[in-house]
Structure 1
Amino acid sequence: MSKYSIDQFIQKSKQVDKGQGLFELETERILEINLDGEIWAKMGSMISYDGKIKFEREGILEHGLGRLVKKAFTGEGSQLMRATGNGKLYVADQGKKITILDLQGESIYINGNDLLAFEKGLEWDIKLMRKIAGMMAGGLFNVRLEGQGMVAFTSHYEPLTLMVHPGRPVFTDPNATVAWSGNLQPEFVTDIQLKTFFGRGSGESIQMKFSGSGFVVVQPYEEVVYAQGTQS
């Protein structure tokens, strides 16, 4: 059905409490945060809210000089805002699909541009990739989160999780790589033989190689994020 009366449209699209807790998927592409305290969210992701909520840009030295130095390399993709108060907060990012994880002491790396929101109590840090400036435009940094709490990340369309087993490394396109388990340390490799098919603007194919035991999440889309600066 493509035509609705106003009442039919409201019934079909109106907000409904699902009782899922702090983070709730209102739709596949809109995250409802039932705020009672404080959370961190991607700068510019707020689309609506009700109640008494205060928004603050992440302070320059709020998380220490080390993170400030790292952020100088990562551009705007890692900018966070703090939401404090009580009410319902709705966040989204360019219509991308949202996944919620409830970390139970585990750790996970999430591409900096795909991190949407996370609970205050989680430990987090920005991790820069190896020196590949000029080889690729996206995936320049990622965020490692660990502890007890909820985190939401985004992907273009449905994400696919690939299991990594000892002796059987998994290779991914950096621009299609969304997240991976916290125990994995990917390395960048090149394959000149594949330059005819991949390696846009680089002359050779840049791949992420995951070895060991864990998982990696990819999306069916090459997301090119233009970041300022170089890597360290």
Structure 2
Amino acid sequence: MHSTLFAHVPVPSTGRYTLQNPQLLKVDVNQGSGAVLARQGAMVAFEGQIDFQSQYRNNSWRNVRQMTGEGIELMKCKGNGQVYLANFAQHIHVMEVGRGLTVDSKYVLAFDSTLGVGIVAIDSAVEIASAGAYNLELSGAGQVALLTSGEPLVLEVGPGKNICADADAVIAWSTTLRTQLQAPTSTSGVWRRRGSTGEGWEMQFQGEGHVLIQPSELLPPTHLRGGMLGFGMRGNSLGGSRA
């Protein structure tokens, strides 16, 4: 039996996270290095003796998620073997958390269970309900696998080099950075994405670190529903009157 398909066999590796290809991640799970937390439904195959469990969240996490809508359904992978993860053929990127990483939970595929996880808010320069945003903050020694729609862009932020980006395209950034979410228009114009240009909320970054941006963003809102306008990178709704 001959086919070019047989060129796509598992990639030999010694590390915990290995890219099988740009859209498929192989994770080595073993008792000695602890469990891996992965997005529920992301497993496409596995080898060995792997136990998949829904990840328990304490009351504090549940309360924050209920208030903010931020969160990710996780499963715990433990045992001995290899797990293959993917999410709608998005591009996968593995990185060390290092000094800390803040990330939109929609773009998390998997991470070490030894990492600390918290939820942080981004201040909004416009005092409108729900204009702020909430993200996951990962800390400690370990790795995380992130998702992007297409090949990403990494921008460095340093002294005298501030970075601004469309909030809908931002994936993650160094926790050491100072951030601010703001509308690039006057308060009376936040309902329109910068007039006819289609641009909406932007994020400003200051300090020293890096910002990860994907070459994709949510489509701008096209109509009002019940006096509410769907807006923002997490589908938050902003209250407002009809024009």
| Normalised-by-shorter TM-score class | 0.7 to 0.9
Match of 2:91 in 1: 97
Q: Is structure 2 residue 185 aligned with structure 1 residue 192? A: yes
Pairs within 5 Å for 1:135-150 = 140-150=133-143
**Which of 63, 74, 77 is the aligned partner of 1:83?**
77
Q: What is aligned with 2:45?
A: 48
- Counterpart residue type for residue 8 of structure 1: S
1:78-122 CA-to-partner distances (Å, cap 9, x unmatched) read 12111111111011111111111134x421112110011111211
**Partners of 1:116 and 1:153 within 8 A in 2:** yes
Counting only pairs closer than 5 Å after superposition, residues 55-204 of structure 1 correspond to structure 2 as 55-61=52-58, 65-75=59-69, 78-103=72-97, 105-130=98-123, 140-192=133-185, 194-199=194-199
Question: What letter is aligned with 2:107?
Answer: D
Q: Do the aligned partners of residues 226 and 188 (structure 1) sit closer, same or farther apart at CA in structure 2, a change above 3 Å counting?
A: closer
3-state DSSP of counterpart to 2:171: strand
TM-score (ref. length: structure 1):
0.81
| Percent sequence identity over aligned pairs | 27
Structure of larger gyration radius: 2
Cα distance in 2 between the residues matched to 1:79 and 1:94: 16
Task: Tell me, in whole angstroms, the C-alpha distance in 2 between the residues paired with 1:190 and 1:229.
Answer: 15
* Equivalent pair of 2:103/2:171 in contact (CA under 8 Å): yes
CA distance in 2: counterparts of 1:49 and 1:141, whole angstroms = 33
Alignment partners' CA distance in 2, 1:27 and 1:42: 18
SS across alignment from 1:215: strand
The equivalent of 2:16 in structure 1 is 22
Q: In 2, Cα distance between the equivalents of 1:109 and 1:223?
A: 20
Figure out how many residues of one structure are paired with residues of the other and give that number.
212
Q: C-alpha deviations, 1:125-157, integer Å up to 9, x for none?
A: 122344666669xxx432111221111101111
TM-score, normalised by the number of residues in structure 2: 0.78
Aligned to 1:3: none
The 3 A distance-change label for structure 1 pair 73 and 91 is: farther
Q: Is the 8 A contact 1:176 1:218 kept in 2?
A: yes
1:216 aligns with 2:208: no
- Relative to 1, partners in 2 of residues 1:76 and 1:166: Cα closer, same or farther, differing over 3 Å? closer
Residues 177, 53 of structure 1: CA spacing in aligned structure 2 closer, same or farther, 3 A cutoff? Answer: same
Aligned letter for 2:22? E
Instruction: Find the aligned partners of 1:229 and 1:197 in 2 and give their Cα distance.
Output: 21
RMSD: 2.5
Q: 1:15 to 1:74 in 2, by over 3 A?
A: farther
> Relative CO higher for 1 or 2, CA cutoff 8 Å, sep ≥ 6?
1
Shift of 1:75: 4.2
1:8/1:213 CA distance change after superposition, 3 Å: same
Q: Give structure 1 stretches of 5+ with no counterpart.
A: 1-5, 200-204
Q: Describe the SS at the equivalent of 2:15.
A: coil
